[in-house]
Structure formats: C-alpha cells, structure tokens
Structure 1
Amino acid sequence: METMPFGCGMMGMTGGPLTLCEGLQRLKDEHPPLRKQMEELFKEAQAIGDDAGVEDWEAPLRALEEKVKIFVAELDPHSKREEDVLFPLMAKHIGREMGPIAVMEYEHEQAKTRLTGFLATMASLTGPIKADTARRIAGEVAEAVQILFDHFMKEENVLFPMAERILSDAEKEELLAGVKATG
C-alpha cells in the first residue's frame, strides 16, 4: 500500500484499503455502538402504533423516549467532536458553505431537530395516545435514525477518506488532540 508524507496510509491507485490516522479512526470507531442503538431505536419506533389491540401508546412511547435520551447523550459528544474539530479543519481546505461540510452540518441539524422535536413532544404529552398520533410522534425518531444511517455511511466512505487525504500531519495531530480533549 502506498503511503503519503502525512504519516497515515492512503488509498493506493489500485483502490486498496485506506488506513485512517488515529483521530479519524477514533471518530469512525464511535459509529458501531451508535449504529447498534440506532437499529434498536428504528425497530422500536417502527413498531409503535402497529398493534391494533393497544388502545393507549403512552407507555411504549415513554420507553422509546428513555432510549432516545440515552442515545442523544452518547450522540451529542460525537457530533460535537466533528463540528468543533474535524469540520473546521477540513473547511480550511474545501470551504464550508457548499460541498461535504455543508452537507454534514445540515444532516447533523436535521437529525438533532427531529430528536429534540420528539423529546419536546414527549415532555408535553399526556395520555391516552391513539395509534395514529403515536406513529406520527415515533416517526420523528425513525426519520432521525434514517438520516444518521446515511450520514455515517457518507462519513465513512467520503468524508473521513477525504480528510485523510487533505489534512496535513499537523492538522491530524490537532484533530487527535481535539478528539481526545472532548472524548
């Protein structure tokens, strides 16, 4: 495999695997446990409102709410590391107004909006909750998770490899320090 002077492996001309520097690898390694939670949230959100025998969906929504709170508490620090450290470093090279960084920030915003909207709705909700209302409320979680699944794929397949190629050795050290400081 070819390597570049930045000290981290690069994808060779043959399309071989890309080795990420430590800071990028740490961000990528945060995805699998988050993805596992996302799969569970999606499955649970999709099931809400589907059982015709259930007349009041408040309890299942409250159970989902607790899982969403745990997920958000774990997602937020990950997002913050990207928004406060990785994105600004990359923006120096590729800009922030259009392109990958703008897309990543937009997707962060969209997922957060749906998750905080769900939590805000739950905070003001009083039962009993009928199936159609429950489906609509839980749909915010399912939509957020779909956004995040796509977002993680873009980061892993586009953003992180791009960062590996464009960040200097010093920037990669700055990234690692920032990821460690906020992790």
Structure 2
Amino acid sequence: MNQATQTLRHEHEAITLGLKILARMEQRVNAEQITDIQDLSTMTDFLKTFADTCHHGKEEGILFPALKNLDPKQTQGPIQGMLDEHAQGRQLLADMQAALQPTLKINAFHEAARAYAQLLLAHIEKENTVLFPMAERLLSPEQQTQLAHAFDAHEDQVMGPGQHEALHATLKKLLAKYPA
C-alpha cells in the first residue's frame, strides 16, 4: 500500500476541486453577477492553508528529504522543479491576496488566479505522473507508512488538530455556493 503518496494524491483532488470552484467564482465576477468578495478571500485562504502550508509543507518537510536521502542523483532534478513551482505558487497566492485588499482589484486578482490555477494543475500532473511513481519505486511499504504518520503529525503540529477537516468543510460550503 502506498499510504504517503495516496494521501498526497487525495489532497491533489481537493486542491483541484478548489481551483474549479475558484474558476466558477471568477466567472460570476466577470459576468458581473454578485459574488461575495469574502468568498474570494476564503478561497484564497483555503489554497494558502491547504495547498501550501499543509500539502506543500508535507512534501518539502517530509517527502522530499526522504527521497533525497534514498537517491540524491535521481531525485534532485524533479524535487528542485517542484520546489521552484511551490515558490511561484506562493508568489501568485500573495498577488491574489494583495488584489483583495483594501478593495478588490479584479483584473489583478483574475490574472494571478488564472496563473496560479494553470501552474498548480500542471504541477499536480507532474507530481502524479513523475514524482509519486518515483517515490513509490524508492520507498518501501514501511517507509510509506512512516511518512504517512509524519504527515499526520505535521497536520497536528503545523495546522492544528481538526484543521484539515475544517478546511474540507470550507471547501464543501464553497462548492454548494459555486458548483464546479
């Protein structure tokens, strides 16, 4: 069983759903339908907390170091590419947040949100088709289990107990309001 990589793939599904909801929110704004600006802020916060702090935090702090220790030559290039994209994503999230304050700058928000979605969807595809299969070849079932436990500890220590579930609840509420 590939517990650690399965956890990350499952998180990719939630992130992808969040990006679909964000696209729906933007469609409403562009169509000049009423969209709660707070919802854009909530979605941006979700992406920052769930995609970056939680998901990318697990990769950067737990998975990537484990892979580097097992086979530095094979993993260095793909891992560096993922780290570079994480940094690009953080900048685009910051741009999205800046476009919301003090008043909505819709063109700036739209530009950053579109770029972020394109980046993250391509990033997820690379991880699912290149990085995670490599991890599954390199990591033993015991190592996968150890990493999955470390992921749980990361969530409790960095995010706080119950925060993961609360983020999924936020996503569910936004999905009900903005069906993807």
Range of TM-score over shorter length:
0.7 to 0.9
Change (3 A) 1:72 1:96: farther
* Equivalent residue for 2:9, pick from 1, 6, 28: 28
Q: Deviations over 1:34-86 (max 9, x none)?
A: 211111112333554455xx8xx9x6554322221123222221111111111
Match of 2:131 in 1: 159
Give the TM-score normalised by structure 1: 0.71
Mapped partners of 2:9, 2:26: distance in 1: 25
Between 1 and 2, higher relative CO (CA 8 Å, sep ≥ 6) is seen in 2
The structure that is helix-richer by fraction is: 2
Give 2:65's aligned residue.
88
Determine whether 1:141 maps to 2:113.
Answer: yes
Question: Does 2:39 correspond to 1:63?
Answer: yes
CA contact 1:61–1:138 (8 Å) conserved in 2: no
Residue 46 and residue 83 in structure 1: after superposition, are their counterparts in 2 closer, same or farther (change >3 A)? farther
- Alignment of structure 1 residues 97-116 onto 2, 5 Å: 98-116=76-94
Does structure 1 residue 120 correspond to structure 2 residue 101?
A: no
Q: Is the 8 A contact 1:45 1:142 kept in 2?
A: no
Amino acid of the structure 2 residue aligned with 1:25: Q
Q: Which amino acid aligns with 2:59?
A: E
Cα distance in structure 1, aligned partners of 2:82 and 2:119: 11
> Does the C-alpha gap of structure 1 residues 105 and 46 become closer, same or farther in structure 2, counting only changes over 3 Å?
farther
In the alignment, the residues of structure 2 paired with residue 43 and residue 139 of structure 1 have an alpha-carbon distance, to the nearest angstrom, of 15
Count of aligned pairs between the two proteins: 153
Give me the whole-angstrom Cα distance separating, in 2, the residues matched to 1:151 and 1:141: 15
Offset of 1:31 from its aligned partner?
A: 1.4
Deviation (angstroms), 1:90 = 1.2
Structure showing greater Rg: 1
- What 5-or-longer segments of structure 1 have no aligned partner? 1-7, 9-20
Aligned Cα root-mean-square deviation (Å):
2.6
Question: What are the ranges of 5 or more consecutive residues in structure 2 without an aligned counterpart?
Answer: 156-180
Residues 165 and 181 from structure 1, CA distance in 2 versus in 1: closer, same or farther, beyond 3 angstroms?
A: same
Identity of aligned residues (%): 26
